[in-house]
Amino acid sequence: MTDYAAPVRDMRFVLQELVGLDHIAALPDCESLTPDLVDAILDEAAKFAGEVLGPLNKAGDQVGSQWNDGAVRTPPGFRDAYTQFVAGGWNALGGDTEYGGQGLPTVLSTAVKEMWNAANMSFALCPLLTTGAIEALHVAGTDAQKQLYLPRMIEGVWTGTMNLTEPQAGSDLAAVRTRAEPDGDRYRIRGQKIFITYGEHDFTENIVHLVLARLPDAPEGVKGISLFVVPKFLVNPDGSLGARNDVRCLSLEHKLGIHASPTAVMAYGETEGAIGELVGEPNRGLEYMFIMMNRARFDVGLQGVAVSDRAYQQALDYARTRIQGSEAGVRGGSRVPIIRHPDVRRMLLRMKSQAEASRALAYTVAAWLDIAQRHPDAAERARSQALVDLLIPVVKGWSTELSVEVASTGVQVHGGMGFIEETGAAQFLRDAQITTIYEGTTGIQANDLVGRKIARDKGEAARAALALMSTTVAALDAAQGDDFAVMRAALHAALAQLERVVAWIVATWPTNQPAVLAGAVPTLKLFGTVAGGWQAARAALVAQAALERGDNEDPAFYRAKINTARFYADHVLAQAEGLAHAAMAGSAGVLALTEEEAFA
């Protein structure tokens, strides 16, 4: 496995030239976001990711976290790395300043989080879940709960989890059985949860679990679920730790990937009952948990970006150093690195173009998150929030599906050596697989996109996004050169297909939801593919303007941006017509046959 080197140059380009960091710096409480500060944070984060987290990745995969009688030991070096992570202030980067955070914008912390996940995804999962728990407590917790938990969680000296899934429930949260029985002003929690990431570990002295459970008089279904904060150790009013709570890790799951991340089976209330406090109002727990889940879904999409870039780096390094065969068209030529072979170049460019497009889309959505939270104009906040809500399932679903494709292509670049664990290429593919599943499978993201995000508002948010993409098509009209003509034709055609699908969903949903849902995943992939092409084209236009100005010190970088966007137009956007067909016409094959006929 090669060393991880954060793509700081591309991150700076996306932040400063594509997203427009100056616009974010103009938002309230973002005035300190100067280019010098951004550069310093990115450089230091890259150093920590490359020198501390990256070297632990392969060994952590091989050793994994170990369970022993309820206690969990993470792989050698992980606990010390987390101590350094907290001491460096990294966990507090985007935290609320009222509770000890640094208050930096989401778009900047997004770039930093990409580094953590690319260097060591198993490690990065711990602060990812803590961030989600912080969000839920920040929105729904009482003032006392916030004062008690948030400063320590934002600092990182305590971590957080989200506890939804149960053995019989899976994604069907209406089937949750965990009980919460009143006991004075607190509750006794009894039940079992599975798939709890970092449910038990040796990083910190306390773990703050957010748990979905039912009150005795709760209505059936998802309307009867409440949210409770259940710490591993009870917390005294002064913030000191009290007695051990009745919370226990029963075992760790044996997984395909992310071996260093402990995925726990958790038991609540095996004896006297785990003590918990209600978060927010009774029976609104799923609503509050979705606050966590929405943020976690974005962050998992970012994991997809990270794994794609890491797999590309590994494949690129191998292709540059692996000597095999002579160059095509050269008789009797000497043996050359495989990067000189056309098909290997095609694979590498596909990996590069998709990784960069997914990064640009994720950072753009992160910037809209900042605008939605901080802009002084309510209408602008609402507009940005609508775009965020629309595109989070795309960032999650499309970026993670891409990561599996990109990591698989990376194995292909390695040939037989990719199938051998020694090279490290296989680990990225194994790790990538989970990103399409947790925090909602790709199908769940796709159903959310077509049902809640497109059909519910009759396509209004989707049309707003399409309008933004259309402005880039118009800008391509004015650009000179064959590359831009190809980009313009490809993006225009792909955008037309997406417009057709959005209109079809709006028209079809009221009378035939199964038909729309049968094509939901192709719709999601189409939306991501077109949005990625939009970002690639924007990047090419920015690069061309920089080259024309002649005031840059890195012309090769900008020329590569144009070439990569051209490749994306030729090789990726060309898929749009097929995806649109599957989205609108594919239900016939999915729904026509009975179970007996289709699956006999």
Q: What's the confidence (pLDDT) of residue 172? A: 67
H or E segment at 47?
Answer: helix 35-48
Q: Decide if 398 contacts 360 (C-beta within 8 A).
A: no
The answer on pLDDT for 393 being more than 90 is: yes
Q: Letter for the amino acid at 278?
A: L
Residue tagged 């599906």 (tokens) = 401
501 has pLDDT over 90: yes
Inter-CA distances, 304 with 334, 460, 591, Å: 38, 28, 31
Lowest average pLDDT, out of 31-35, 205-209, 240-244, 451-455, goes to: 31-35
The pLDDT of residue 382 is above 90: yes
pLDDT in tens, 333-362: 899 999 999 999 999 999 999 999 999 999
pLDDT band at 575 (very low <50, low <70, confident <90, very high): very high
Q: How many CB atoms lie within 10 A of CB 430?
A: 16
Q: Which residues are catalytic?
A: 439
Does residue 595 surpass a pLDDT of 80? no
Q: Which of 168-172, 209-213, 413-417, 468-472 has the lowest mean pLDDT?
A: 168-172
Short-list 26, 44, 35, 39, CA closest to 85: 44
Q: Tell me what pLDDT residue 95 has.
A: 95
Segment 131-141 shows an average pLDDT of 94
Residue 597 pLDDT: 73
Residues 79-101, mean pLDDT to the nearest whole number: 97
Q: What is the pLDDT of residue 596?
A: 77
Does position 446 have pLDDT exceeding 70, yes or no?
Answer: yes
Q: What is the pLDDT of residue 598?
A: 66
- Report the b/e string of 132-166 with b at 16+ CB within 10 A: bbbbbbbebbeeebbebbbbbbbbbebbbbbbbbb
Position 170 pLDDT exceeds 70: no
Q: What per-residue confidence (pLDDT) applies to 101? A: 96
Residues above pLDDT 70, as percent of the chain = 98
pLDDT tens profile 290-344: 877 888 999 999 999 999 999 999 999 999 999 998 889 888 789 999 999 999 9
**Is pLDDT above 70 for 16?**
yes
pLDDT at res. 560: 97
R_g of the chain, CA atoms, integer Å: 24
Pairwise CA distance, residues 416 & 155, whole Å: 45
pLDDT top residue among 296 and 539: 539
Q: Work out the mean pLDDT of the chain and round it to a whole number.
A: 95
Average pLDDT over residues 464-489: 96
Confidence at residue 592, expressed as pLDDT on a 0 to 100 scale:
85
pLDDT in tens, 551-568: 778 899 999 999 999 999
* pLDDT at residue 481 is higher than 70: yes
User: According to the model, what pLDDT value does residue 2 have?
Assistant: 85
Q: Give me the pLDDT at residue 599, please.
A: 64
Span of 23-27, 185-189, 292-296 with lowest mean pLDDT = 292-296
Helix or strand (DSSP H, E) at 191: strand 186-197
User: How confident is the model at residue 136, as a pLDDT?
Assistant: 93
Q: Sorting pLDDT into bands at 50, 70 and 90, what band is 176?
A: confident
CB 572 within 8 A of CB 510: no
- End-to-end CA separation in angstroms for the chain: 44
